[in-house]
Amino acid sequence: MNVDPRDLQRVLDGRWAAVREEVRTQFGDRSLHPDPDLSTEEYRALTTANLGLLAESRRPHLGFDPAYGGGGDVGGVVTAFAMLGYGDLSLLVKAGVQWGLFGGAVQALGTSRHHDEYLKPIMDGELLGCFAMTETGHGSDVQHLRTTATYDQAAREFEISTPDAGARKDYIGNAARDGRMAVVFAQLITQGTSHGVHALLVPIRDSEGRPLPGVTIGDCGRKAGLNGVDNGRLSFDRVRVPRGALLNRFADIAEDGTYESPIASESRRFFTMLGTLVRGRISVAGGAGSSTQKALALAIRYGATRRQFSDPATGEEVVVLDYLAHQRKLLPALATTYALHFAQADLVADMHELQGFGAAGDERRQRDLETRAAGIKAAATWHATATIQTCREACGGAGYLAENLLPQLKADTDVFTTFEGDNTVLLQLVAKTLLSDYGRRVGKLDLLGKARFGARLAADAVAERTGLRAVLRRGDVRDRAYQRWLLVEREEHLLANAAQRMRKALAPGADQFAVFNDAQDHLLVAARAHVDRVVFDAFAAAVARVPDPGVRALLAQVHALYALSVLEGDRAFFVEHAYLTLGRAKAVTQAVNALCGRLRPHARTLVDGFGIPEPWLACPLLDGEHDPTAAATDPAPSREEPTDLASVG
Amino acid at the residue 269: R
- Nearest-CA neighbor of 532 among 564, 555, 556? 564
DSSP state of 361: P
Distance CA 449, CA 454 (A): 9
CA gyration radius for the chain? Answer: 26
- Nearest-CA neighbor of 296 among 416, 402, 406? 406
Same fold, 5-127 and 130-267: no
Domain boundaries, the chain: 5-127, 130-267, 280-647
Q: Among 214-228, 573-587, 595-609, whose mean pLDDT is lowest?
A: 573-587
User: Does residue 78 register a pLDDT over 50?
Assistant: yes
The rounded percent of the chain whose pLDDT value lies above 90 is: 72
Q: What is the pTM of this model?
A: 0.90
Mean pLDDT of 470-485: 82
Mean pLDDT of 4-15: 96
Model confidence at 143, in pLDDT bands (50, 70, 90)?
A: confident
606 close to 599: Cβ distance less than 8 angstroms? yes
Identify the helix (H) or strand (E) that includes residue 19: helix 17-27
User: Does residue 635 register a pLDDT over 50?
Assistant: no
Residues 438-470 pLDDT 10s: 777 666 655 555 455 555 655 566 565 555 555
Task: Tell me the torsion sign for CA atoms 37, 42, 44, 49.
Answer: negative
Q: Which CATH number fits domain 280-647: 1.20.140.10, 1.10.40.30, 3.90.1150.10, 3.40.50.2300?
A: 1.20.140.10
- CATH class of the region 130-267: mainly beta
Residue 362, phi then psi, degrees to nearest 5:
-145, 100
Mean pLDDT of the chain: 89
User: Does residue 640 register a pLDDT over 60?
Assistant: no
Distance CA 11, CA 4 (A): 12
CATH node for 5-127: 1.10.540.10
Distance CA 328, CA 326 (A): 5
pLDDT reported for residue 463: 60
Q: Which residue has the higher pLDDT, 161 or 509?
A: 161
